[in-house]
Amino acid sequence: MTDLTWRPDSPEAVAEIRPLLRAVAAVDGRPEVAATGPLPREFRGGEHLLATDGVELVGYAHLDTDGDSFGRQVAEVLVRPDARGRGVGSALVDAVLARAADGVRLWAHGDHAAAAKIAEKRGLSRVRELLTMHLDLAAVELAEPLWREGVRVRAFEPGRDEAAVVEVNKRAFDWHPEQGSMSVADVEATEAEPWFDPAGFFLAVDAQDRVLGFHWTKVHPGAGGPGTGEVYVVGVDPAAQGGGLGKALTLVGLRHLRAAGLPEIILYVESDNTPAVAVYSRLGFTRSAADVQYARAEARSV
């Protein structure tokens, strides 16, 4: 028997949810949830659905009621690893579908067969695929970045560059469900996170110091090792595209991560972003995993 309870966002709800998220991360490798501090962006605000077996929390769903950049509500559904196979995930999905607005999208991280089966039984179709790509730095040669005339690269300066980066990001990702809605407040909140390092946040600027593009890198700490680097975001203003600016920004970030002693790099990219996938593939990245969003078939174009 699974008991389901909807809870508004609150510090008390976060404290109750955090141990389950960390238990999932210990087995699945994500979500990346610290022992203290705010939860990742995808679990903030909105509504929380807690599933218990009468005693313990065995599952959880987050419903983003504000929605993505296009106003579509988005849900995250997670089941504690030792409680899987008991119908908890199905119960959570049914409750989300009953509560959410039409067109809600549900994430299945890892593209598991069990998630696909739950989706199929409820008439949900794959509407989005997010790839994880991996690069072994020891197996590739990284070329020197080539900057076109009048362009130079410098590090991000907190308190100065937030608005300019947000404006470029907005134009570069006006098609993206999440990235395009990044705000100055989001950047400032990320600056307060333990991993943030302005030395790994590169801006391509023109002679007037106007931001043309950026490469924001991230380092995931390792358990006693050097950790893993991430191509967190690469964005180029559409007006500045061409001439290899995106590739140069990618290379400068990768060379920075290699100089920091990181042996491997990951990134996330939409599977249908063919130009980006091609660029990363030529640099030596290979597909390692995929996350899938499901929605009603009639919501595919919503």
Q: Which positions make up the binding site?
A: 77-79, 178, 218, 230, 234-236, 241-247, 268
Binding-site residues for acetyl-CoA: 77-79, 234-236, 241-247
- Eight-class DSSP state of 181: G
**CA-CA distance, 271 to 14, in Å (whole number)?**
32
Q: Evaluate whether 6 touches 48 at the Cβ level (below 8 Å).
A: yes
**CA-CA distance, 92 to 73, in Å (whole number)?**
16
Residue 246 contacts by C-beta under 8 Å, 6 or more apart in sequence? Answer: 213, 234, 236, 279
Bridge partners of residue 230, in order along the sequence: 218, 266
**CA-CA distance, 222 to 258, in Å (whole number)?**
15
Dihedral of the CA atoms 268, 271, 275, 279 (nearest 10)?
A: 40
